[in-house]
Structure 1
Amino acid sequence: MVATPIKTEKRLTIQTADIVQDTTTIRSLDWDRDRFDIEFGLQNGTTYNSYIIRGDKIALVDTSHAKFRQLYLDTLTGLIDPKTIDYLVISHTEPDHSGLVKDILALAPQVTVVGSKVAIQFLEGFVHQSFERILVKSGETLDLGKGHVLEFVSAPNLHWPDTILTYDRGTQTLFTCDVFGMHYCSDHLYDEYLDAIAPDYHFYYECLMAPNARSVLSAMKRMDTLGEITTIANGHGPLLRYNVHELVERYRTWSEEQSKAEKTVAVFYVSDYGYSDRLSQAIAKGITKTGVAVEMVDLKSADPQEINEIVSSSAGIVLGMPPLEGTYNQQTTGNVGTILAVAKDKQYVGLFESYGGNDEPIDPLLTKFREAGLNQGFTAIRVKETPTEAIYQLCEEAGTDLGQALTLDRKVKQRKSLDSDLDKAIGRISGGLYILTATKGDIKGAMLASWVTQASFDPPGFTVSVAKDRAIESLMQVGDTFVLNILEEGKYQPLMKHFLKRFAPGSDRFEGVNTQIANNGSPILTDALAYLECEVVSRMECNDHWVVYSKVTNGRVSNPDGLTAVHHRKVGNYY
């Protein structure tokens, strides 16, 4: 392997390496990026991976992010004369992978662009120039010579509506772009350190792929018809070579679990319009946290029959406002009409603006849904500015509210049916009363907790169990900081009553509460018995909860004679 780092002040570097016969990767390493896409936090930066395949003809698979323009183009032209590139394979048109397509076409106007029908349509919309193209579907092939026969696999909604995977039969390499990727930046080209990358791999799946679990399974069925896969050349993070089977099967297992959900919400968005795709993804992430499945549908590319089937089988509908006019207006308007025609009484609905500059108004459409007998799953989200971290958090919380409304009846039934001797015995495990408070960027969160246990002396640390559908869960990733506020026996009732309230998505959890700011930026509850400043070290998944281990960096007791409030339950199958 030959690595050639090129450093800049912003810690953007390039790594090149030969990965299989006649195939070179150009990895753009973004060391300091800490937010991505739907604004979920990154702990380890990210990479944007591109590939050159040299047969008798030459193919370039994906490009890079526009921030790497000069670094990437200098590296590419140092490896190959752009005039010799025959094909540019577009896995999908999201800007972090296709941001330099126009630059490549300027350097290599002879290139034939290869992609799905939807991808080519999207490219025409932002390249604004003519180019040669080949539209490909699942099972179709492109022979580069020297044994490099590329076979294409359609993978819509993973996590972009135009996604294709590309399998090189000659090297048994699968080029997957976002699929099987992770936001993890390091000099290690491959996945040899599984324990190090596993949390980021799973987190990436949860944020981008879980809302599309059924599409993941459909794409994997098509993958199963390919030959042996020895290398997965993804678009983000280290390439998969040492743990290919293990990591692919994790996708299958996670997706099968997600797709078994009793209820589904159809989430409709308009790709490449405003922030529709990102806002919809944030809402979908909130829904999946409650155990409800999601079906993501692009109004630009979906046909009426597909929409009819999805809406008919869904318990809820989320709809991003389409543009009033434009290239796709007729198709998107027709599809919205189909949704209205198929929507039925007792379904839940939630609407959001896309901030695309010309959104269809929410209120007339919401009135029509209400007249059809649908329940409002969350207050309409009206985006009046470029979405901030707080807006994305609001979207996630709105999705969680919708999911919780859909699962309420099931939870009540479970509580009634599980009131057994075992549940009564588990309920006798006592716990203290605590309030977790956290701040990340513009977002603040809080949660009443009782499952807290000291776990280490040096460094001092403890574990806390956090339900997956808690809003604060997204603020407690590895590396995040928070405060554990310990409530005092006899004085905890006002704080407990306040934080047990059901807060509307995006609302201020601390309004009316006395607070001060800890060294790590999170709120300290002034009326608490004590507080600990904490940093998340690791997380362990336990079905419906995360067990979060954190080290303590600072703390103080306000009343040395006070005792920790204790919480007793009658049964152990709910709080």
Structure 2
Amino acid sequence: MSQPVTIAEGIYWVGAIDWNIRYFHGPAFSTHRGTTYNAYYIVDEKTALVDTVYGPFKEELIAKLKQIKDPVKIDYLVINHTESDHAGAFPAIMDLCPSAHVLCTQRGYESLKDHYPYLDFQYTIVKTGTSISLGKRTLTFIEAPMLHWPDSMFTYIPEEALLLPNDAFGQHFASSVRFDDQVDVGIVMDEAAKYYANILMPFSNLITKKLEEIQKMNLTIKTIAPSHGIIWRQDPNRIIEAYARWADGKGTAKAVIAYDTMWLSTEKMAYALLDGLVAGGCEVKLFKLSVSDRNDIIKEILDARAVLVGSPTINNDILPVVSPLLDDLVGLRPKNKIGLAFGAYGWGGGAQKILEERLKAAKIELFAEPGPTVKWVPKKEDLQRCYELGREMAARIKD
């Protein structure tokens, strides 16, 4: 079991490391590098625990708390977000410290009562600007609805310039160390981008507004301690600036091609499109869907300007392996993307129209409608058209 880690005098990480988890939110999110469930214990004249951990790790949390202060004393239990990976140990903490006073948003309280109707606890509803003194330190709260649940909020400790934003600025990343200056920050940023793309992308407009709100509050932020992954202490502005960039959605001169194929005809078209994009000076990522992780693909789409999706027709429809990516894109609604549908068919079509309808449903602007489609096998002129379309798309996204 990992040990408590000091963040500042009297402030400790008391979370848990989940080395083995490979899927999150059921099968919806792949976590190749595991994750952490971060909780923070503040020992002052009064004590506070900010967030808990996923239920199966409750004993680890309690063991860490006891190493710091035994018997454990918790005056305030802050619930920034009630999802089970953060509040799953809530009943165990209330059993341990039944007099702990719960601090949460109104929606947070409603969610706690729905999740744990058998628990009776003292609580205070907090709003943006509410502050609680612990003695030398103060807890100040900032509501952050839909980042990424309606109940979400941030906790800020001004005396330490420490922001505890729950799911914001986090990543699914298991590590034996806790801080950004102790790891390969490139890997961590890659996981942070994947986290944003697959969970927070639909809320980009709200994130932009929240970042502007925090800027207007003139908060000094020296450390950001999220509820998943590493703690940003060396350069917290790195992740703040990345969020501002991702929320803006402008992207770079980059295209993502995601496709699958039956007898290589659609694949030949995918490679011709890739060649044209590259010749036009565009960065390209190409994924065959049957052998790729769609959460990784969505991460690449985050900062791309173009999304190209290809499928042959089967049963007047698209290949089943293509559909989950399109379903995700419809839900995530990526900003400022252009798209192209392509593919092959035999005696009858159907896939092309479905691909284009799904891209439109995801609010992706079609670059060409209809996109390139071929019967049976692409001829030389078909591949040339794909190549030229790639060059034209590259010119568009480089503007």
State the TM-score, normalizing by the size of structure 2. 0.68
Q: Please tell me whether residue 42 in structure 1 is matched to residue 31 in structure 2.
A: yes
2: CA distance, partners of 1:33 / 1:237: 13
Deviation sequence 1:405-437 (CA, Å, 0-9, x none): xxxxxxxxxxxxxxxxxxxxxxxxxxx96639x
Which structure 2 residues correspond to residues 458-469 of structure 1 after superposition, within 5 A? Answer: 465-466=285-286
Residue 150 of structure 2 corresponds to: 161
Do the aligned partners of 1:154 and 1:219 also contact (CA within 8 Å) in 2?
Answer: no
Change (3 A) 1:23 1:499: same
Residue 58 of structure 1 corresponds to: 47
Match of 1:150 among 104, 129, 139: 139
State the SS of the aligned residue for 1:166: strand
Report the CA distance between 1:219 and its aligned residue: 2.0
Q: Which has the higher strand share?
A: 1
Do the aligned partners of 1:433 and 1:449 also contact (CA within 8 Å) in 2?
Answer: no
Residue 252 of structure 1 corresponds to: 244
Residue 231 of structure 1 corresponds to: 223
Q: Which amino acid aligns with 1:34?
A: R
Report the CA distance between 1:252 and its aligned residue: 1.0
Deviation sequence 1:318-369 (CA, Å, 0-9, x none): xxxxxxxxxxxxxxxxxxxxxxxxxxxxxxxxxxxxxxxxxxxxxxxxxxxx
2: CA distance, partners of 1:508 / 1:249: 33
Deviation sequence 1:141-169 (CA, Å, 0-9, x none): 111111x1111101011111100101101
When the two chains are superposed, the root-mean-square deviation of aligned CA atoms in Å is 3.6
Change (3 A) 1:49 1:80: same
Change (3 A) 1:232 1:497: closer
Q: Please tell me whether residue 133 in structure 1 is matched to residue 123 in structure 2.
A: yes
Q: Please tell me whether residue 27 in structure 1 is matched to residue 18 in structure 2.
A: no
Change (3 A) 1:505 1:499: closer
Residue 62 of structure 2 corresponds to: 73
State the SS of the aligned residue for 2:41: strand
Match of 1:214 among 205, 215, 227: 205
Do the aligned partners of 2:138 and 2:159 also contact (CA within 8 Å) in 1?
Answer: yes
Report the CA distance between 1:27 and its aligned residue: 2.7
State the SS of the aligned residue for 1:567: helix
Q: Which amino acid aligns with 2:128?
A: S
Q: Which amino acid aligns with 2:124?
A: I
4+ long deviations beyond 4 Å: 470-474, 495-502, 504-509
Residue 240 of structure 1 corresponds to: 232
2: CA distance, partners of 1:507 / 1:196: 28
1: CA distance, partners of 2:77 / 2:198: 28
2: CA distance, partners of 1:109 / 1:143: 20
Q: Which amino acid aligns with 2:100?
A: V
State the SS of the aligned residue for 1:76: helix
1: CA distance, partners of 2:69 / 2:101: 17
Residue 567 of structure 1 corresponds to: 383
Residue 18 of structure 1 corresponds to: 6
State the SS of the aligned residue for 1:568: helix
Deviation sequence 1:441-479 (CA, Å, 0-9, x none): xxxxxx9443567xxxxxxxxx963389x898743839x
Change (3 A) 1:501 1:206: farther
Report the CA distance between 1:214 and its aligned residue: 1.6
2: CA distance, partners of 1:164 / 1:157: 9
Q: Please tell me whether residue 435 in structure 1 is matched to residue 267 in structure 2.
A: yes
Report the CA distance between 1:42 and its aligned residue: 1.2
Change (3 A) 1:508 1:87: closer
Which structure 2 residues correspond to residues 243-282 of structure 1 after superposition, within 5 A? Answer: 243-257=235-249
Q: Which has the higher helix share?
A: 2
2: CA distance, partners of 1:212 / 1:248: 15
Residue 301 of structure 2 corresponds to: none
Do the aligned partners of 2:311 and 2:318 also contact (CA within 8 Å) in 1?
Answer: no
Deviation sequence 1:159-194 (CA, Å, 0-9, x none): 111001011011110001100000011112111232
Change (3 A) 1:472 1:248: farther
Q: Which amino acid aligns with 1:236?
A: H
Match of 2:80 among 73, 85, 91: 91
1: CA distance, partners of 2:242 / 2:187: 16
Q: Which amino acid aligns with 1:203?
A: K
Between 565-574 and 86-95, report the one with greater CA deviation. Answer: 565-574
Change (3 A) 1:471 1:252: farther
1: CA distance, partners of 2:176 / 2:92: 27
Do the aligned partners of 1:182 and 1:236 also contact (CA within 8 Å) in 2?
Answer: yes
State the SS of the aligned residue for 1:242: coil
The structure having more radius of gyration, on CA atoms, is: 1
1: CA distance, partners of 2:83 / 2:250: 25
Q: Which amino acid aligns with 1:159?
A: H
Do the aligned partners of 1:117 and 1:162 also contact (CA within 8 Å) in 2?
Answer: yes
2: CA distance, partners of 1:227 / 1:476: 33
Q: Percent identity?
A: 27
Change (3 A) 1:240 1:474: same
1: CA distance, partners of 2:114 / 2:97: 19
Deviation sequence 1:290-322 (CA, Å, 0-9, x none): 9xxxxxxxxxxxxxxxxxxxxxxxxxxxxxxxx
Q: Please tell me whether residue 199 in structure 1 is matched to residue 21 in structure 2.
A: no
2: CA distance, partners of 1:258 / 1:37: 28
Do the aligned partners of 2:16 and 2:38 also contact (CA within 8 Å) in 1?
Answer: yes
Do the aligned partners of 2:313 and 2:319 also contact (CA within 8 Å) in 1?
Answer: no
Do the aligned partners of 1:15 and 1:29 also contact (CA within 8 Å) in 2?
Answer: no
State the SS of the aligned residue for 1:113: strand
Q: Which amino acid aligns with 1:205?
A: Y
2: CA distance, partners of 1:228 / 1:184: 26
2: CA distance, partners of 1:473 / 1:241: 34
State the TM-score, normalizing by the size of structure 1. 0.48
Q: Which amino acid aligns with 2:135?
A: G
State the SS of the aligned residue for 1:573: helix
1: CA distance, partners of 2:267 / 2:71: 58
Change (3 A) 1:212 1:117: same
Do the aligned partners of 1:24 and 1:51 also contact (CA within 8 Å) in 2?
Answer: yes
1: CA distance, partners of 2:240 / 2:295: 26
Do the aligned partners of 1:46 and 1:185 also contact (CA within 8 Å) in 2?
Answer: yes
Residue 450 of structure 1 corresponds to: 272
2: CA distance, partners of 1:28 / 1:234: 13
Residue 330 of structure 1 corresponds to: none
Change (3 A) 1:466 1:31: same
Unpaired segments ≥5 residues, structure 2: 276-282, 298-309, 325-363, 365-379, 395-399
Do the aligned partners of 1:21 and 1:171 also contact (CA within 8 Å) in 2?
Answer: no
